[in-house]
Structure 1
Amino acid sequence: MSLNFPLLLVIAVAVCGALALFDLLLLAPKRRKAIAGYSAQVIEPDQAVLETLNKEPLLVEYGKSFFPVLAIVLVLRSFLLEPFQIPSGSMLPTLEVGDFILVNKFAYGIRLPVLDRKVIEVGNPQRGDVMVFRYPSEPSVNYIKRVVGLPGDKIRYNADGRLFVNDQPVAEQLLGEEAGSLGSSAQYTEQLGAIEHRIRKQMNRYHVGAGEWQVPQGHYFMMGDNRDNSNDSRLWNDQKIPRELLGMVPDQNIVGKAFAIWLTWPEPKLHNVPSFSRVGLIR
Structure 2
Amino acid sequence: MDFDFSAILLALTVLFGVVWGLDRLFLYKKRKAHFEEAGEEYRDPAAVDWARSLFPVIFVVLLLRSFVAEPFRIPSGSMMPTLDVGDFILVNKFAYGLRLPAFNNKFVSLGEPKRGDVVVFRFPGFLCQDDSGKIVRSGDVTCADPNASIPGQNWIKRIVGLPGDTIEVRDSQIFINGKPVVDTLIGPFKGNPARPEDNELLYYNASIWSEQLGSVNHLIARMPSRGPTPPIPNNRVPSVVPPNCYIVMGDDRENSEDSRWWGCLPEQNLVGKAFMIWFSWKGWGTGGVDFHRIGSVIH
Shared fold by TM > 0.5?
Answer: yes
Instruction: Mark the runs of 5 or more structure 2 residues left unpaired by the alignment.
Output: 126-149, 191-200, 234-238
Query: Which residue in 2 is equivalent to 1:278?
Result: 293
Counterpart residue number, 1:184: 205
Deviation at 1:12, TM superposition (A): 0.6
The corresponding residue for 1:257 is 273
How many residues are aligned here?
259
1:193/1:272 CA distance change after superposition, 3 Å: closer
Distance in 2, Cα, partners of 1:77 & 1:276: 25
Q: Is the 8 A contact 1:219 1:248 kept in 2?
A: yes
Say which SS state the counterpart of residue 65 (structure 1) adopts. helix
- Alpha carbons 1:139, 1:253 under 8 Å: kept: no
Matched, 1:86 2:74: yes
Partner of 1:3: 3
Calculate the TM-score normalised by the size of structure 2. Answer: 0.82
After the TM superposition, which segments of 4 or more aligned residues of structure 1 sit over 6 Å from their partners?
A: none
The reply on whether 1:158 has 2:170 as its aligned counterpart is yes
Which string of whole-angstrom CA distances, capped at 9 and with x for unpartnered residues, describes residues 57-93 of structure 1? 1111111111111101110111110000000000000
Q: 1:271 to 1:23 in 2, by over 3 A?
A: farther
Q: In 2, distance between residues paired with 1:28 and 1:76?
A: 31
Check 1:24–1:276 CA distance in 2 against 1; reply closer, same or farther (3 A cut).
farther
Which residue does the alignment assign to 2:260?
A: 234
- In structure 2, the residue matched to 1:200 is 221
Kindly provide the amino acid, as one letter, of the partner of residue 135 in structure 1: F
Q: Give the distance between the partners of 2:93 and 2:151, measured in 1 at CA.
A: 17
Q: Are 1:27 and 2:50 counterparts?
A: no
> Residues 95-146 of structure 1: CA distance to partner in whole angstroms, max 9, x if unpaired?
0000000000000001111222111110010000000001111351111000
Percent identity over paired residues: 44
Query: Which amino acid in structure 1 is aligned with residue 156 of structure 2?
Result: I
How far apart, in 1, do the equivalents of 2:267 and 2:226 lie?
A: 34
Aligned to 2:259, the other structure's residue is in SS state: coil
Tell me the CA shift for residue 5 of structure 1. 2.4
* Among 155, 158, 161, the residue aligned to 1:146: 158
- 1:32–1:271: structure 2 CA closer, same or farther, 3 Å change rule? farther
2:227–2:254 contact (8 Å) kept in structure 1: no
Give runs of aligned pairs for residues 212-251 of structure 1, distance below 5 A.
212=233, 213-236=239-262, 247-251=263-267
Root-mean-square deviation (CA), in Å? 1.9
User: Letter of the aligned partner of 1:164 in structure 2?
Assistant: F
Q: Which amino acid aligns with 1:226?
A: D
1:209 offset after TM fit, Å?
2.4
Aligned residue for 2:65, secondary structure, equals helix
Q: Name 1:66's counterpart in structure 2.
A: 54
Name which one, 1 or 2, has greater alpha-carbon Rg: 1
Which deviations, in whole Å up to 9, do the C-alpha atoms of 1:162-200 show, x marking residues without a partner? 110111100111111237443211111111011000001
Query: In 1, Cα distance between the equivalents of 2:45 and 2:289?
Result: 42
Match of 2:181 in 1: 170
